[in-house]
Each structure stands twice: as C-alpha cells, then as structure tokens.
Amino acid sequence: MVIKISRPLHRGAPAIRVTSSSNDLLDSQVKEQTEKEELDRNQSSHRSRHRLTMLLLKSSLVVIVILALTGSFWWTLSISTSSRGHIFHSSRRLQEQLVSDLWDIGELSFGTSRMKEIEFCPGELENYIPCFNVSENLDSGFSDGNEYDRVCRQGSRQNCLVLPPMNYKIPLRWPTGRDIIWVANVKITGQEVFTSGSLTKRMMMLEEEQISFRSASLMFDGVEDYSHQIAEMIGLRNESNFIQAGIRTILDIGCGYGSFGAHLFSEQILTICIANYESSGSQVQLTLERGLPAMIGSFSSKQLPYPSLSFDLLHCARCGIDWDKKDGTFLIEVDRVLRPGGYFVWTSPLINVQSSRRNKEKQKRWNFVRDFAENLCWELMSQQDETVVWKKTSKKTCYNSRKSGSGPSICSKVQDVEFPYYRPLQNCIGGMHSRRWVPIEERATWPSRSNLNRSELALYGLHLDELNEDTANYRIIVRNYWSLLSPLIFSDHPKRPGDEDPSPPYNMLRNVLDMNARYGGLNAALLEARKSVWVMNVVPTTGPKYLPLILDRGYFGVLHDWCEAFPTYPRTYDMVHAEGLLSLESSQHWRCTMVDIFTEIDRMLRPEGWIIIRDTALLIDSARVLTRRLKWEARVIEIESNNDERLLICQKPFFKRQPS
C-alpha cells in the first residue's frame, strides 16, 4: 500500500461562549426598533427567496433522479448478462456519488446551522455512559440487580462532546502507566480505596495525586501468590505454565481493579475484566485507566455479548455474584461461554469449610453450588481455603450419563444461539450444537493458536487463502500506520525534560478499539510487529459474524451494534480504528447518523488519542467535513494502490474544562 498526504491537517478550535447585555439609552430605542423592523423585512424577503430557490433545486433533483432511474431501468434491460458484471463497479460508484450529492444538498438546505460545531456536554456528564441509567431503570420498575442492566432507550443518547474531569492528565506511558494512574482521571473517593472488600481491589495505595498498583509493593505479593495457588490447584507448577495447559483467554468477573489480569499480562495471558456499571469507584473504569482490557457487563438478566465456548478460564474472586440465586442460571451462563476442558475459579468466604460448618445458611448455599456444578458436568479439581477450581467436561457423553431429571437440560437448536446479543439468560446448557466444541487441551497452544489450519478455518466458512491475504495486507497496513503516526506523535509531544525517549512500542499506544475487526487481522499484525498493545476486536451486528474465529485465534472480541453506545466509560482507548465501517452502515441505509457514530468515538477516545478511518473516497470526504464539527485535527491520505479508498487520520484535542 503506497500512501501520500493529499490534504493538509486542519485544526479544530475550542468552542467559545459569547454573552451580551444591553445598556442602550431609552431615547434610542424607538430608532433602533424602526431599523430592526426594516431589517426584519429585508431578511424575511431574503429567506423567502432562499426557500423558493431550495424548493426549485430539490424539485429539479427529484425529476433528475426519476428520469435517471427510469432511463437506467430501460438501459439495463438492453444489456446482455455477460456485460453486466463489467458495469457493476461503475454503477456502485454512481450510487455512492448520488448519496454524497444528496447529503451535500441536505447540508445546504439546512444552512449553516447544520455545520456548526457540536457542543460540549455539561460538566456533570464527564463520566457519561449512554444505556446505563440506574435511577431511570429503578423508576421503570427494575429491581433485584436488574437496575444495572444495559437499556438503550430510543432518543436517550446526547450528541455532545464529553469533557474530561477538571484536573485530568494524560495517562502515563506503559509499562509505568499499568501500575500508576492519576486520581483526577477517575471517579473514586478515598473511602472507596480503603474500604473495598474485594481481594484484588485492595491491591492498591493512594499516594497524593496518584493511585499506585506497583508490583514492588508488599500488597501486590498477594496477587502473585494467589495466581501461583490457582496454577497449583489446576495441577501446574506455576502461572507461567498456563499457556502449556491451553489457557490463553480469561474472563475476570468483578475484577477489582485489574491486578490479577495485570500480573498475567507478562505471561501472554489475555484477561478481560467485566463488572456492573458503577457511578463511582468503578472497577471497569480504573482497570481501563491502567490501560488494561475491561468492559461493563452484567450477569443479572441478559446473556453476555460473546459466542458460546469463548474463554479458557473464568475467574471470580469475591465478585459479588450469588451463584446460588435464580436456580443456578448464572452458572449456566458461565458454562455457556466456557470452552470444553476450561476452568472456573471461584474465591469466596462461602467456600471456607470451617466457616460454613458453623453457619447452616452458608452450608446450604455452598452445597447448592457444588451439586449444581456437578450436574453441569464440572469436575471439582481442588478446594483450598476460600478458593475452589472446577474443570468443565471435555466429553459430550457426560450429559447423557446424568441421572434423569438432575440438572439443567440441553438447549434445543432454536434456543442454542451462537451469537447472542443481550438475550435473556437461558436455563438450559448451551454450546452443545456448535461445531466449535473442541477441548482446550486439543487446541494448539499460544501463539500457534492464532494461525488456524485449513480444516479449522472450514468451521467458519473461510479459506486459508483468504486469511493469508488478510494477514499480508494488515502486515503492510500496520507498518504504514506506524510510519505515519510516529512523526506526528513526536512532533506534537516532544520529550519532556528529564525523560528518556522510550523505545517502541512503549512510546505510543496501550490499546486499540477496532470497530470492524473482520478476522482480527489488525490484532494479528500488531502482535507480529511486537507492539505491546491489546486490541478490542468488535464485530458489528450488521456485518459478517466472524467473532468466534477471532476468539478462537486467542484474541479478545465482542459483538456490538454501533447505533448503540459501547459499554465502556469515557476516555477509554488510545486509538480507534474503523475499516469499512461507514460502508457497512451505509449499506444498511444508515440506521443511525454518522454524527451518532462519531460522537460515540469521541466519547470513548482519550484526549490526544488517534482515529484512523479507512473507507471509500466519497464516504471519507463526508467524514472529513464532520471532523470540523467535532473539533478533531484531521488529514486525508490517498492510497495510490487503490484509488477508490482513502485514509482519514484524526487526533482528538485535549480540551481542559474551565472552572464554572
């Protein structure tokens, strides 16, 4: 891919609020009123002429479109079948040009009001997450934990730009930033720091303007010892052997502040944190601020937006979920997303044998979970102190050998949906009809897992040549992205006094959100280039469903509808990447506007973060116009090897909130 800069960077300016007051003398008001009336008459006449002009313009356009479509219909009838393939590409370009022209005329008809800059959100929305409104859910009758559910109400989104907190600072570079964050960047009180009950939540210290999770602290030794204990309970020497046991991806439920996953990151174990929405002291927000993988997710009433058989290990350390509630439905959801042969690790005071014997209620609850796990065909591998480890069966025959009427039934093919998107929780065992039922011990270990062979790819309807071509393309794309961004980043962020210039990859990115991930090619290329970065691979609900492929390659991913808000806090990602997303949404007749999608990108992106959009030239032109309204700094890059596509590279400015 050969690239060249075709248009210069344009810089957005912060919005300026202007106020005015009137101090005119009383004896001048009559004169001003006369002048105002005359001006109003002139403006009214001008507006009438403008409306008449626009009406004639629109009418002419409608006539042209009708004539064009009619002529196209008769012309198409006269074309032989063999010729139609040659004109398809040109026809598609004409359709896109027509869409672009209609867009431009629509902008013109609305006048300059449509082109004005998008307003900043009020200060109280600095942690704004659409679709998560606990008070509104309570008013609607939600209860029993369901008030934390994700509910995307029609018209609830506010298209405004979320400002950072008052004393926000750019996160520290990795690896330092993984262990130290700025207190002002997150919403948490000192009391929440010191009174948290979660094991991994307590692994931090408050130090003036910073919160420290340093591995050198005595507190952190608890996470290292805990990880070592889990490995031994599984039958391994230590946590560095997780990879050899087939463990690459972990879902950490109620993760505290991500210390368990941070510790395993150096072992090439990818741990994603999920937890309920919290308005303050959020586990997800603090984990993301450290640059670690996390997203808002709840077990209360909906299935998680992951396919069946997605993770090698699920972990819950005092995560706050009562696994014995709702007749074991929560455990059934754990079983659904857990791969055959995978592990469920649970740490809770409920497991402590001595404590449970003295408390009959605790004993009853523990007995229920233990018996239910057995009926799910989980093997209890080990139990030590407050921790227990189960292993999911690798054999389907186990389910048929259960006693009649014991445990949940197997889901029917209708119930067993491989791509659930916040569907209600099921009370039957899922994943049994999937062709992806492969025990983790039979899968290739990481990193060989990322390179699937021909027979494995056939499970996803994909040919080896397609994956190889995708991999080769992204190898070139990542190299070009890095060469483009490096001079921009170092020119905008000169080395601070006293700082050594860190060697790549620590000088650039911690995480990337890929909005249209396809096969996970960007993720694969970044890892191959030895970039110390993790990728949130998002598969749109409107596109091809390759999320199982991404997860089975050992990456992390999620299903999402981009006409809804992504379940994350503001200022989450260092870079957002979108290849072909605008084309995908335009093919769906724009179920939501480009403004909706771009304001959501702005919300998720940290100040001074980067956006790379690759799409057709016409859609990129429309997107570039919108970047002015978002106050983004933007430049368009031509791709000489493909005249139909363009790159749009943008940076989100750092707007500091002023005291009110």
pTM: 0.81
DSSP 610-656: EEEEEEEHHHHHHHHHHHHHTT-EEEEEEETT-TTEEEEEEE----P
588-609 burial code (b ≥16 CB/10 A, e <16)? eeeeeebebbbbbbbbbbbbbb
C-alpha–C-alpha distance, residues 518 and 470, integer Å: 9
Whether 381 and 328 share a structural domain: yes
pLDDT attached to residue 203: 56
C-alpha–C-alpha distance, residues 630 and 622, integer Å: 13
pLDDT attached to residue 65: 53
C-alpha–C-alpha distance, residues 634 and 651, integer Å: 7
Task: Say whether the peptide bond before residue 447 is cis (omega within 30 degrees of 0).
Answer: yes
What is the DSSP code (8-state) at residue 403? P
Whether 334 and 455 share a structural domain: no
Is the pLDDT assigned to residue 53 strictly greater than 70?
no
Encode pLDDT of 11-32 as tens digits: 333 333 323 333 343 344 434 4
Whether 435 and 484 share a structural domain: no
165, part of any domain: no
C-alpha–C-alpha distance, residues 158 and 341, integer Å: 45
pLDDT attached to residue 365: 94
Encode pLDDT of 405-452 as tens digits: 888 999 999 888 888 899 999 999 999 999 999 999 999 999 999 999
Cα–Cα nearest to 418, from 546, 538, 298: 546
Whether 287 and 418 share a structural domain: yes
pLDDT attached to residue 310: 96
Whether 556 and 409 share a structural domain: no
pLDDT attached to residue 155: 66
The token pair at 647 is 């790159």
267, part of any domain: yes
120, part of any domain: no
The token pair at 424 is 């209600």
226, part of any domain: yes
Contacts of 115 (CB under 8 A, 6+ apart): 107, 625, 628, 629
Encode pLDDT of 477-489 as tens digits: 999 988 888 766 6
Whether 438 and 470 share a structural domain: no
What is the CB-side half-sphere exposure of residue 406 using CA atoms within 13 A? 15
Encode pLDDT of 263-311 as tens digits: 999 899 999 999 999 888 889 999 999 999 999 998 888 999 999 999 9
Q: Which pairing describes strands 378-384 and 294-296: parallel, antiparallel, or unpaired?
A: unpaired
Q: What mean pLDDT comes out for the span 174-196?
A: 81
Whether 420 and 496 share a structural domain: no
Cα–Cα nearest to 278, from 296, 291, 260: 296
Look up tokens 């970047």; give the residue.
627
Encode pLDDT of 70-85 as tens digits: 554 444 444 343 333 4
Lowest average pLDDT, out of 221-230, 290-299, 461-470, goes to 221-230
Is the pLDDT assigned to residue 86 strictly greater than 50?
no
Query: Residue 43 corresponds to which amino acid?
Result: Q
The token pair at 288 is 């993301």
Is the pLDDT assigned to residue 404 strictly greater than 90?
no
DSSP 17-32: ---------GGGHHHH
Average pLDDT over the chain, rounded to an integer = 81
Residues in the chain: 660
C-alpha–C-alpha distance, residues 654 and 14, integer Å: 10
From residue 564, alpha-carbon distances to 97, 285, 363 in Å are 27, 19, 43
Q: Are 162 and 570 in contact (CB under 8 A)?
A: yes
Q: What is the CATH number of the domain that holds 371?
A: 3.40.50.150
38, part of any domain: no
From residue 283, alpha-carbon distances to 150, 259, 421, 569, 656 in Å are 17, 11, 23, 11, 25
Q: Which pairing describes strands 633-639 and 645-651: parallel, antiparallel, or unpaired?
A: antiparallel
Is the pLDDT assigned to residue 93 strictly greater than 70?
no
Whether 358 and 436 share a structural domain: yes
CA 398, distance to chain mean position in Å, is 37
pLDDT attached to residue 237: 93
Whether 468 and 437 share a structural domain: no
- SS3 at position 382: strand
Bigger pLDDT: 561 vs 139: 561
Whether 432 and 305 share a structural domain: yes
428, part of any domain: yes
98, part of any domain: no
Contacts of 371 (CB under 8 A, 6+ apart): none
Cα–Cα nearest to 277, from 127, 141, 123: 127
Side-by-side strand order, sheet with 645-651: 3-5, 633-639, 645-651, 605-616, 573-579, 511-514, 534-540, 557-560
Q: Which of 425, 442, 459 is the last residue of a domain?
A: 442
Phi, psi at residue 186, to the nearest 5°?
-125, 160
Is the pLDDT assigned to residue 496 strictly greater than 50?
no
Is the pLDDT assigned to residue 497 strictly greater than 70?
no
Lowest average pLDDT, out of 170-184, 243-257, 603-617, goes to 170-184
Whether 355 and 299 share a structural domain: yes
DSSP 109-146: HHGGGGGSPPPBPPGGGTT--TT--HHHHHHTT--TTG
Is the pLDDT assigned to residue 374 strictly greater than 70?
yes
Lowest average pLDDT, out of 94-108, 218-232, 267-281, goes to 94-108
Is the pLDDT assigned to residue 89 strictly greater than 70?
no
Q: Which of 442, 466, 487 is the last residue of a domain?
A: 442
646: β partners:
615, 638
Confidence of residue 590 (pLDDT cuts 50, 70, 90): confident
What range does the domain containing 241 cover? 195-202+215-442
348, part of any domain: yes
Element at 535 (helix H, strand E): strand 534-540
Element at 474 (helix H, strand E): helix 464-492
Cα–Cα nearest to 438, from 460, 464, 417: 460
Is the pLDDT assigned to residue 553 strictly greater than 90?
yes
Total domains present in the chain: 2
Q: In percent, how much of the chain has pLDDT > 90?
A: 55
Q: Which of 415, 442, 469 is the last residue of a domain?
A: 442
C-alpha–C-alpha distance, residues 81 and 94, integer Å: 20
Whether 401 and 526 share a structural domain: no
